[in-house]
Chains A and B, each alone.
Chain A
Amino acid sequence: MSDPANITLVTMDGTTFTVPSAYLHRSKLVQDWLRSEGDKQAMEVKHVTPFVLQGVLNFCEIHAEDTSEPLADPADPTKPFEADPRDDAFRGMPDDQLLQFTMAADILQIPELVRLTAQEMASRIDGKSPDQIRAMFNPDDLAEEDVDSDNEMGEVGEEGAISK
């Protein structure tokens, strides 16, 4: 099956995006789909909104020319993560949007983007106090869940033994 020049993606609500197939060479989902047999008119990407897909495709466009070796596993600890100024769009993004991008990247199986967004999310959590983290994520639901409970007190008492 020869590679088509363009690929059309359809989001959950039917919006279509047509991009050069070279953009998506890092998406394992798309590559698998291209290798599979059958009609290559349009690929449905469920669970992804048009806005998020647009962002993901922007990322793919920016990195289409990258020559770095594709990342096999976003959690691979041997490949150090380096921030790329071209990805600054993800830095200013609201938290829930960022998570939606993580999801979309996971669905499209683009390990580079999964790692980027996960790393960005982690960097927003790191260094914050519990209160700040609560405020970041679900202030209403979590307020009363404040931990002063009993069951693991023995454990938390010794938590200092492993801390950094």
Chain B
Amino acid sequence: MSQTQLQSPPPPPEPRPVTPSLHPSIFPIPLPSELILLILSHLSQETKALILPLVSRPWRDLLYNTPELWHQLTIYNAHAFVHHPNPIRFSRVTLLDARASSCSDDDLAEALTRRALGTHLTDLDLSVCRALSNKSILLLGKHCPRLSRLTMEGCNSFTDISPLSTLPLTTLDLAYCESLSSSSVDLLARSSLNNTLTKLDLNGCYHISHSALTTIADRLHTLQFLSIDGQGIGDRPVIYLFSRLRNLQTFSISFANDLTDSTLKHIAPILPRSLTHLRLRKGVLLSSVAFGAFFADLAARDHSFTRLDLSECAQLDDVALASFRFPMLRYLNIEWCWNVTDIGLDRILFASSPGLVALYCSGLNDITLTPLVASAGRTASSGTASGPVTTIATPSPPAADPSLPHLRALKLETCRMVETDTIRRVSVSNPRCFVVDYYGEVVRGGKKVGLLVKEEVWTEGGVRSVVPEEEEVEPEGMEEKEKKAKEKDKHDPFVAAVLALVSAGAGVAVGPARSAGGVAPGAGGAGAGAEAQGATSAYGNATEQTLAPKRRKQRKPKMVVVPREYLGRLAGFFDNL
């Protein structure tokens, strides 16, 4: 010890050698290239692809020749992408969002075989690329050894998914892949995927049979998310699913019309505790009595959902709701459950789930909300009326009390008995709540702020500033989002809802890798729309220079699209801003 000290005065460790900057003229002070790359890696794709290359030659050379900067990519034109003259640049892509990029079998073959783009790929979104056939699935299975998340919503041309069984998939989204054969799902479930797969979305895949579901139940024990179409699916396989998949957190069935009371009776005692999100849509045979017993059973077991969707379960009524007790519930969809009245809503909102953030009750013909608003007002004022101050104060209108203070989204489309004044009072007393009225207009703080169109809500002025005063909905925004809207045609709101809640904190579209996070849903969506338009024109012979100014103008879309199902979640964002 002392010897070493004597030998030589130990020099303090040298700072890491500062590698000479490769690109001295990029930043005002020379930086090591890894720092330059780090800074640039935080930039949006738009800035990297369209703005920075125009700044100067060194910037452009750096950006065009550094594959590390292009780990995550959103493309809008698959053909142009795979024939890009400088493919090296994209050789390290790990996350590729090619949603609605018109990707064909040939494009994918070019990308995966000739350009070897699959080597590093972990996340891939090929949704709504309807031309993709079985050939493409084979290619994916062969050339994407690291693929863990695959989204192919609405690709309805392929039938055989089993070639993917060799991949380390954790998430497989095949919603609305309508041609998908039951036997190939069966094969897939029998493969080694049973160790990795946590999310499987088969919503809209109506060929899936009893036997495939049984195999899923027997094999895919790691599943946390399962969504099925349900057409032709009876009680037995559904009960069996619940008895076997003990890690399930989300279960969804879009067409529960073949399920009978037996399902409710048998799943109530075996529902895994982890299952907090249940969707039984169109359970038309499920009786009020069975629902009542189901709710009571679960309440007795202290099972609580956070999200529950019983839309179009026509027999659900106030009597059944009398045993409704889910204190943790945040999202409830009882649209088109005609028999529910104000009494049922009162039970839900005050006795069972006061923490409800989103309540969707479109089509409830008998509800008026009037007693609810009144009773909420009464409760609040009786709480605060304990001082002598209130005796002096002039009697304030009930609207001054926050009724339903936690609510952020309340959907009342075609609820003909709800007065405009009631809506106004709810939205004024709880200015953070979005209320959708009879006509699909979105009201907040007493003013109309947007319009519900198909699956999306249009609001003015962007996520950061929903200004109640501004009412006009500009038609040009519609064009910008046309593509998005089209692609969403078949996009089940449930998927979005689940994305919103299950992968909370992730970006809208793909996954945690898309760190845009929080504010992204609106802003990102709108930007993407504008760029989608830019992309088509850019694919002509135009040069970057002529395009750039144009595109810059387009980059400020006035409209921001809020997907319908994000309403509840977005409300949280608005408040945190």
Interface residues of A (CB under 8 A from B): 29, 32-33, 36-39, 42-47, 74-75, 77-78, 80-81, 95-96, 99-100, 102-103, 106-107, 109, 114-115, 118-119, 121-123, 125-130, 133-134, 137-138, 141-142, 145-149, 152-164
Contact = CB atoms under 8 A, between A and B. Distances in A.
Contact of B10 (A37, A130, A159): A37
A44 B25 contact: no
A36 to B, nearest CB: 6
Contacts of A164: 44-46, 49, 74, 527-528, 531
Q: Which 4 A-B pairs have the closest CB atoms?
A: A160-B538, A38-B10, A161-B80, A122-B42
A145 B57 contact: yes
B115 to A, nearest CB: 14
30 contacts: A29-B15, A38-B4, A38-B9, A46-B14, A99-B31, A107-B16, A114-B38, A118-B38, A119-B42, A125-B43, A129-B51, A129-B552, A138-B28, A142-B56, A147-B56, A147-B545, A155-B85, A156-B53, A157-B538, A157-B541, A159-B50, A160-B531, A160-B535, A160-B551, A162-B45, A162-B49, A162-B75, A162-B76, A164-B45, A164-B46
A163 B538 contact: yes
B64 A109 contact: no
A39 B9 contact: yes
Contacts of A149: 57
B535 A45 contact: no
A118 B42 contact: yes
Nearest to B29: A99
B251 to A, nearest CB: 28
B489 to A, nearest CB: 22
A150 to B, nearest CB: 10
B42 A162 contact: no
Most buried by A among B25, B73, B515, B538: B538
Nearest to A133: B55
A29 B197 CA distance: 41
Contact of B85 (A129, A133, A142, A158): A158
A102 B55 CA distance: 22
Interface string B504-539: 010000001101010000000001100100111111
A103 B36 CA distance: 10
Interface in B48-63: 49-58, 60
B182 to A, nearest CB: 36
B577 interface: no
A134 to B, nearest CB: 6
B542 interface: yes
B539 A81 contact: no
Contact of A159 (B4, B35, B544): B544
Given A81-B515, A134-B56, A164-B74, A155 B534 contact: no
B28 A126 contact: no
A145 B74 CA distance: 29
Given A129-B552, A163-B531, A99 B27 contact: yes
Interface string B545-564: 10110011000000000000
Contacts of A129: 51, 552
Contacts of B57: 145, 147, 149
Contact of B77 (A45, A154, A161): A161
B39 A102 contact: yes
A47 B18 contact: yes
A78 B511 CA distance: 10
B26 interface: yes
Interface string B76-102: 110011011110000000000000000
Contact of A75 (B13, B38, B535): B38
Nearest to B512: A78
Nearest to B545: A148
A119 B49 CA distance: 18
A103 to B, nearest CB: 6
Given A158-B80, A161-B84, 4 more contacts: A80-B515, A102-B35, A130-B52, A152-B64
Nearest to B542: A157
A32 to B, nearest CB: 6
B15 A161 contact: no
Contact of B35 (A103, A126, A152): A103
Given A118-B38, A125-B47, A147-B56, A155 B12 contact: no
Contacts of A95: 28
A163 B45 contact: yes
B41 interface: yes
A95 B512 CA distance: 30
Interface residues of B, number: 76
Nearest to B527: A164
A109 B16 contact: yes
Contacts of A42: 12
B520 to A, nearest CB: 11
B560 to A, nearest CB: 16
B506 to A, nearest CB: 9
A103 B53 CA distance: 24
B539 A161 contact: yes
A158 to B, nearest CB: 5
B382 interface: no
A43 B11 CA distance: 9
Contacts of A46: 14-15
Contacts of B56: 134, 142, 145-147
B396 interface: no
B543 A156 contact: yes
A80 B29 contact: no
B32 interface: yes
Contacts of A81: 515
B28 A96 contact: yes
A154 B538 CA distance: 12
Contact of A118 (B18, B39, B528, B551): B39
Contacts of B545: 147-148
B391 interface: no
B41 A75 contact: yes
Given A106-B32, A158-B80, A163 B49 contact: yes
A148 to B, nearest CB: 6
Nearest to B513: A77
Contacts of A128: 47, 51
Contact of B54 (A122, A137, A147, A155): A147
Contacts of B515: 77, 80-81
Contacts of B74: 162-164
Contacts of B60: 147, 152
Contacts of A32: 13
